[in-house]
Structure 1
Amino acid sequence: MATSRNCLFRHACIAFVMVLTQGCASIVNDTTNPMRVETYSQAGTEVADMQCKLENDYGSQTVKTPGTLQIRRSAKDLHIICSKIGEPDAKGVVTSRANGGMFGNIIFGGGIGAIIDHNKGTAYSYPQWVRLVVGRMLGFDRSNDKDGMPNLGKDVLPTPPRS
């Protein structure tokens, strides 16, 4: 009798912990991701006061460089266009990557928490600091982030037109 009670108690504890860990990324991560945006010339000097539009499936925001804003997290990539009179545009595509909360959901909570956080976007993150270059289209991935350093991105080849 005592053994079945211990087994029941153990299973109840496991179920309780699983319920608590559902939606881990929603609890650990806010719906926004801070991002610093800078613009530089191809010669490596800062180009200040460029007006940048950052857009994903949750909407768009603007910031003047250099500047920091809170970007809505999303499973979709973030597109950036910075412009200033007399300068070529600086463009970027910021890749959305799953963060630790997503993996915690899969390991501890099963699929329900992962689905919830995927749909809310809280399971994903963008780089925290990007440096765009005028006249270039760069791709940014937070896997290339280094603490205290801007993500310099990599050149993105234009997508060929469909025939």
Structure 2
Amino acid sequence: MAAVAVMLGLQGCASILGDSRYPVSVTSAPPGASFEITDKSGQVVHSGNTPSTVTLKSGKGYFSGQTYTLRFKKDGYPDRSVTLDSSVSGWYWGNIVFGGVIGLLIVDPATGAMFKLPEGVTADMGKPVAGAPNNSITVATIDSITDSQRASLVPLK
């Protein structure tokens, strides 16, 4: 019994039942946007294309949660930035009943397990930018274009 009591006293409730790294779903509307994730220090921790799932640390340091900035880019759309912020995990408060003072003040804050991240983040890229290249091809006959368009044609050899 004493050994079990000592083990529980040396553990943190959030460290046992929670985690310090979380999978986060990254999406955009429309899909196919490239994104870059930077942490509080401004360091790039991941880059990819939507949709994607990324595993991120929830803690930054002792009693400090992590905050991430996600920057989204897609040709023809305005760039978007979204902030992803950690919050205190409900399991952390279990230390009051199960984990004890060591879990409450040392283990969970040091491991980052006292924090959690949202399951997902999404960016609405908005409406396409007017005049942006849309990378499409229009096929026309010579009879369907104007005289000024004909004057700018270049013969292919």
TM-score range, shorter chain: 0.5 to 0.7
Q: Structure 2: which amino acid aligns with 1:26?
A: S
Report the 3-state secondary structure (helix = DSSP H, G, I; strand = E; otherwise coil) of the residue aligned with 2:31.
coil
Residue in structure 2 matched with residue 81 of structure 1 by the alignment: 71
Structure 1: unaligned runs, 5 residues or longer: 1-8, 41-46, 136-163
Cα distance change of structure 1 residues 14 and 30 upon mapping to structure 2, 3 Å threshold = closer
Normalised by the length of structure 1, the TM-score is 0.60
**Alignment partner of 1:38 out of 17, 27, 31:** 27
Q: Distance in 2 between matches of 1:118 and 1:107?
A: 17
**Alignment partner of 1:102 out of 72, 92, 95:** 92
Residue in structure 2 matched with residue 123 of structure 1 by the alignment: 114
Structure with larger RCO (C-alpha < 8 A, sep 6+): 2
Q: Distance in 1 between matches of 2:100 and 2:19?
A: 21
The root-mean-square deviation of aligned C-alpha atoms, in Å, is 2.5
Residue in structure 2 matched with residue 91 of structure 1 by the alignment: 81
Structure 2: unaligned runs, 5 residues or longer: 60-64, 127-157
Which of the two has higher C-alpha Rg?
A: 2
Identical positions, percent: 30
Report the 3-state secondary structure (helix = DSSP H, G, I; strand = E; otherwise coil) of the residue aligned with 1:108.
coil
Q: 1:53: how far off?
A: 1.5
Structure 1's consecutive aligned runs of 4 or more residues displaced over 3 angstroms after TM superposition are 12-18
Q: Distance in 2 between matches of 1:57 and 1:107?
A: 32
Question: Is 1:53 aligned to residue 42 of structure 2?
Answer: no
Q: Distance in 1 between matches of 2:57 and 2:9?
A: 26
